[in-house]
Amino acid sequence: MKRAPVRSAAPPFRCLQPKLAFNSVLGACPACGGLGERAEVDPARVISDPNKTIDQGAVASWRAAGRGYTVRLVRQLGVRTDVPWKDLSKKEQEIVLRGKPTKRPLIFHNRQTGEEYPIEFTYANAVEAVRQALVGDKNQTRYARMKKFLSVRPCQQCHGIRLRPEALQTRLLGRSISEAAALTIDELAQFADRLPKQLGSELQPIAAKLAAQMHLEIAPIHELGIGYLTLDRAGSTLQQASGSVWNCLAWRKAVQQAFFMCWMNHRLVCIRPMSPDCSESCVGWWPMATASLLLIIILRSFAAPII
């Protein structure tokens, strides 16, 4: 007698591999593609002016998408188009913003012959009209008009973590990779100290080597006084001003050259007081530094504080 196969509702197990990262297909959240955020249609933006009526163009997305006839369709669905948007009932506003697709005929007049003929249209609400225009329309001018109805929000599936659930199942010292990335750099040093002690004897030599390497990279960052930063903090949040210097990747080479010029001229001003041999430790750490961290140093030296 054969046993029936046992089926489990749990997701299939995958061996750990570097590809389980947010910048790979296997690790990225399928909803946002590993970005942690999504550009979604904002219902508040599709209404241009709540004091206007629909006949006056209160629903801006219909006009921008070239769907002026939708005003006649929504009128057939029971929505008053001659009343200001703010005075419409919740049911009427719900039909405009999230109404289901419904087929309705519209009568058109031929100006030359005077004949009338019906054409059946499918109603698309104000939000869906934007989605359809962004997906299927290759007209760049119209696409640019529709983008103004979007708002960038955290991904509802991964909640900004950027990883798919399979990449979060493995835990180290009780933390998933996203929870470890939420640690500050100073907390990460304590995490590295605990690592060799909590693992088995077979893994302790490897863990000790990794912890030592981690301390080697963390020490200069701690001396620079930015150990309070977390690993998952976005670079755009380090700015107080609205300038786009931080996001300008074309400045990487200039920043690298400026770093060396500052050190050679002994003009490097640190974020916090450092030891006399700070310059030597910074130069020794240079091969491991990233352009992002160097940009913090330069801007803190010669510009307004950005952190």
Q: What is the pLDDT of residues 64-107, one digit of tens each?
A: 888 888 999 999 999 999 999 999 999 999 999 999 998 988 88
Question: Which range is least confidently modeled, 37-41, 71-75, 209-213, 237-241?
Answer: 237-241
State whether residue 194 is helix, strand or coil.
helix
Q: What is the pTM of this model?
A: 0.53
Other C-beta atoms within 10 Å of 83: how many? 15
146-159 pLDDT tens trace: 888 888 888 888 88
CB 136 within 8 A of CB 143: no
CB 203 within 8 A of CB 149: no
CB 224 within 8 A of CB 274: yes
Residue 87 is predicted with a pLDDT of: 94
| 91 or 213, higher pLDDT | 91
Chain-centroid distance of CA 275 in Å reads: 39
Architecture in CATH for domain 45-153: Orthogonal Bundle (1.10)
Residue 227 is predicted with a pLDDT of: 77
pLDDT > 80? residue 284: no
138-148 pLDDT tens trace: 667 777 778 88
- Hey, which residues does 37 pair with through a beta bridge? 154
Angle value at C-alpha 131, between 129 and 132, nearest 5 degrees? 65
Tokens of 162: 């950027």
Residue 280 φ then ψ, to 5°: -65, -40
- The mean per-residue pLDDT over the stretch 180-184 comes to 82
- Give domain limits for the chain: 45-153, 177-223, 235-302
Tokens of 19: 């590809």
How far, in Å, CA of 293 to CA of 82, rounded?
A: 57
Residues sharing a CB contact under 8 Å with residue 3, sequence separation 6 or more, in sequence order: none
Helices assigned H by DSSP within 14-106: 43-46, 60-64, 70-76, 90-98
DSSP state of 155: -
Please state, for a pLDDT cut of 90, what percent of the chain lies above it: 16
**Amino acid making up residue 271:** I
Please state, for a pLDDT cut of 70, what percent of the chain lies above it: 67
Other C-beta atoms within 10 Å of 158: how many? 25
Most confidently modeled range among 166-170, 236-240, 244-248: 166-170
How far, in Å, CA of 279 to CA of 274, rounded?
A: 9
How far, in Å, CA of 72 to CA of 108, rounded?
A: 11
Residue 251 is predicted with a pLDDT of: 41
CB 299 within 8 A of CB 245: yes
Length of the chain: 307
Compute the mean pLDDT over every residue in the chain, rounded to the nearest whole number: 73
| 134 or 85, higher pLDDT | 85
